[in-house]
Structure 1
Amino acid sequence: MPKTKRGRVLWNLPSRGRGTCPVCAATRIKLLYPRTKTDGTAVKVCKRCAAAPQPRVDAANG
C-alpha cells in the first residue's frame, strides 16, 4: 500500500521547505539539513551541503 504521509511535513514549512542555500547559494532548493557553525548558530542547508566541510559552513552568510 502507498504511504500517504510521505513528505506531508514539507507542506507545513514556509515555502514548502525551499529557499536559497547559504553555503552553495543554490536557489529554490530544499533546506532540510541543520548544520551548526562553530559560533553555535544553526543554519539549514541543502542535501549537497549537509556533508560540506566545517570551514565552508562557517563562511556561510546565513
Structure 2
Amino acid sequence: MATITRGKVLRELSSRGRGTCPLCERTRIKLLYDYDISGVVKKVCKNCRPKKL
C-alpha cells in the first residue's frame, strides 16, 4: 500500500479519510481515490477506483 494511503497523512484528513462511498454506498470505508462523477470530482473507495489498463 502506498504511503499516502496509510499513516500520518490519513490522520490529517477529516474523519481519518473515511466516509461513505458515493458509488457503492459502503459506509466507514477509506475514500482515497479521485473519480469524476458527472463533472464533479469526488473521492471513492479502492474497489470503485478507475482501473488503469
TM-score, length basis structure 2: 0.76
Report the structure, 1 or 2, having the larger helix content.
1
Report the structure, 1 or 2, having the larger strand content.
2
5+ residue gaps, structure 1, are 1-5, 53-62
Q: State the structure with more CA Rg.
A: 1
5+ residue gaps, structure 2, are 1-5
The answer as to 2:47 corresponding to 1:43 is no
Cα distance in 2 between the residues matched to 1:30 and 1:43: 13
Q: Which runs of 4+ in 1 moved over 6 A?
A: none
TM-score, length basis structure 1: 0.66
